Amino acid sequence: MAAPEPREGGGMDVRDLRNVQVVGEEAEFVGTPLSAEEERRAHAALFSELGNALADRGSTTFPAYSPAERLRLVRVGEALSAHWGIPVRVEAVDQCRMRLSV
């Protein structure tokens, strides 16, 4: 199958791409693309890795590129606080990173 031809003006039309649907401006994705089981495993992995990093160094940064990823890190911080019985602070460093510290 031949590749789609670029449209006039240099770009490709989204309709030329396979399995791509246009979403209206009012629709905003606020959930996670992970299934419940994948979310549970991601939470467990982050809990372990970030918990070890916090125990070793007292603070750590982790990338978070979407609101869902930021929310996931906040929830991990809350779970670590409950587990250890001390507050774990979670704050944005910039648009792409979150810092966890004790």
Q: What tokens were used for 32?
A: 């996670």
Domain ranges (residues) in the chain: 34-101
Q: For residue range 32-90, what is the model confidence (pLDDT) as tens digits?
A: 677 889 999 999 999 999 999 999 999 999 999 988 899 999 999 999 999 999 999 99
Q: What tokens were used for 60?
A: 């750590």
Q: Which H helix or E strand runs over 101?
A: strand 97-101
pTM across the whole model: 0.68
Please, are residues 58 and 88 in contact by the beta-carbon 8 Å criterion? no
